[in-house]
Homo-oligomer: A and B are copies of this chain.
Amino acid sequence: MTTQALVDQILKKRSFLCVGLDVDVEKMPAQVREGNDPIFTFCKAIIDATAPYCVAYKPNIAFFEAYGLEGWKALERVIDYLNTHYPTLYTIADAKRGDIGNTATRYAKAFFDQLAFDALTVAPYMGRDSVEPFLAFEQHHTILLALTSNPGAADFQYIQQDGQPLYQKVIEQSQAWQGSDRLMYVVGATKADALVKIRQWVPDAFLLVPGVGAQGGSLDEVAHYGLNDRCGLLVNASRAIIYASDQEDFAQAAAQAAQELQKQMADWLVKKNLV
Chain A interface residues toward B at CB < 8 A:
22, 60, 62-63, 65-69, 71-73, 76, 94, 96-104, 106-107, 109-110, 114-115, 123-131, 145, 148-157, 159-161, 166, 169-170, 173
Contacts and interface: CB of A to CB of B under 8 A. Distances in A.
B151 A129 contact: yes
B130 A152 contact: yes
A66 B127 contact: no
A106 B21 CA distance: 13
A260 to B, nearest CB: 23
20 contacts: A62-B99, A62-B103, A63-B106, A66-B106, A68-B72, A68-B115, A69-B76, A96-B98, A96-B99, A123-B126, A124-B156, A125-B157, A126-B148, A127-B155, A128-B155, A130-B150, A155-B169, A156-B170, A159-B169, A161-B161
Nearest to A102: B22
Contact of A166 (B76, B104, B129, B166): B166
Contacts of A157: 125-127
Contacts of A103: 22, 60, 62-63
Contacts of A166: 156, 159, 166
